[in-house]
């Protein structure tokens, strides 16, 4: 089947199943193009909550598809490739978090949404890169265990001085790889370009940025900015959406910024999963019940950028 035929079949099935296709900003262009909604982690969770579709086809990594299921326990959520997993989310598990909590019994646990459903179930409130500062400011406790992204935690520390943030030693391999050298090399060639980076980047990279945003924060910012050129310090596929929505502007992506897990979802896999309604996201009722609380608290707090 060629691409056009696959797209037609996906559209037919979408109608027949009453399905919605949600895709993260890092998905490959073909997948972004057939999605009903493309967004960041917070936007996707919000969309998953609002939808009246009976089937959610989730194009992103595991923790995002799990969040859609937690927020929609009665709906079918399919994740076209179960191997599309976020390595950072795998850097914290329930047992190790338990030891950390025992050592800091007075602390509240704020979980970046890049965590598994099992881990969310033993935390107090979730956040995304778009509202981490807002969420941490909102908690009453002085001591906050923040899991699992050290770089995001260090970024938040720049804005919050009245809390003791206890950071987990996790990182996103894709963002941690981004270097100041790579960015400054592009800046040398394009001196008018604004540097915009994701808060999962290392502190040295944050230091040279003009702005720090979640992926949707970047989309929102560049559409209103006067500048015509931007160096984008996040997974390079976001530039596909930025170019598509801002034809008069130029975006420079970084060669090193690739998340191979996000690339596992293809049009063929989307079609296959819609035909078979497999693989489904399956979680126990108890996990859903417990993990829903921190996710709901995060959604109630809303966007921060």
Q: Record the tokens describing residue 232, joined without a space.
A: 């984008």
Residues 46 to 85 in contact with ligand SF4, rule: CB under 6 A: 61
Q: Is 235 in the site for ligand SF4 (CB under 6 A)?
A: yes
87's contact among ligand 13P, ligand SF4, none, with CB below 5 to 8 A by partner kind, is: ligand SF4
214's contact among ligand SF4, ligand 13P, none, with CB below 5 to 8 A by partner kind, is: ligand 13P
Judged by CB under 6 A, how many residues of this single chain contact ligand SF4? 14
Q: How far is the CB of 170 from ligand 13P (least distance, A)?
A: 12
In the complex with ligand 13P, the residue whose CB is nearer, 115 or 271, is: 115
Interaction pattern, residues 114-153, with ligand SF4; x per rule: CB under 6 A: x---------------------------------------
- Residues in touch with ligand 13P (CB under 6 A): 25, 40-41, 114, 128-129, 172, 200, 214-215
Q: Is 86 in the site for ligand SF4 (CB under 6 A)?
A: yes
Interaction pattern, residues 199-228, with ligand SF4; x per rule: CB under 6 A: -x----------------------------
Residues 263 to 302 in contact with ligand SF4, rule: CB under 6 A: none
* Contacting residues toward ligand SF4, per CB under 6 A: 61, 86-88, 114, 172-175, 200, 235, 259, 261-262
């Amino acid at each position: 089947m060629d691409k056009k035929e696959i797209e037609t079949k996906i559209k037919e099935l979408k109608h027949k199943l009453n399905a919605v296709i949600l895709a993260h900003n890092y998905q490959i262009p073909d997948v972004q193009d057939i999605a009903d909604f493309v967004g960041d982690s917070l936007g996707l969770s919000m969309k998953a909550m609002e939808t009246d579709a009976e089937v959610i086809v989730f194009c992103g990594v595991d923790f995002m598809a799990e969040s859609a299921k937690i927020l929609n326990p009665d709906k079918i959520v399919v994740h076209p490739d179960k191997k599309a997993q976020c390595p950072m989310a795998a850097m914290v598990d329930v047992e190790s978090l338990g030891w950390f909590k025992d050592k800091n019994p007075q602390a509240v646990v704020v979980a970046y949404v890049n965590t598994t459903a099992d881990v969310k179930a033993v935390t107090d409130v979730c956040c995304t890169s778009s509202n981490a500062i807002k969420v941490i400011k909102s908690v009453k406790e002085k001591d906050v265990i923040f899991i699992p992204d050290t770089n995001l935690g260090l970024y938040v520390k720049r804005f919050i001085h009245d809390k003791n943030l206890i950071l987990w030693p996790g990182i996103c391999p894709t963002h941690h790889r981004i270097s100041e050298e790579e960015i400054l090399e592009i800046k040398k060639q394009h001196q008018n370009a604004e540097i915009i980076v994701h808060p999962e980047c290392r502190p040295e990279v944050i230091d040279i940025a003009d702005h720090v945003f979640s992926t949707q924060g970047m989309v929102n910012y560049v559409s209103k900015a006067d500048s015509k050129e931007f160096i984008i310090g996040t997974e390079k596929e976001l530039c596909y959406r930025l170019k598509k929505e801002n034809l008069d502007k130029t975006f420079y992506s970084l060669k090193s910024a690739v998340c191979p897990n996000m690339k596992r979802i293809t049009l063929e896999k989307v079609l296959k999963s819609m035909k078979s309604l497999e693989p489904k996201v399956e979680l126990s009722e108890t996990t859903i019940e417990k993990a829903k609380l921190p996710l709901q608290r995060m959604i109630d707090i809303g966007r921060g950028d």
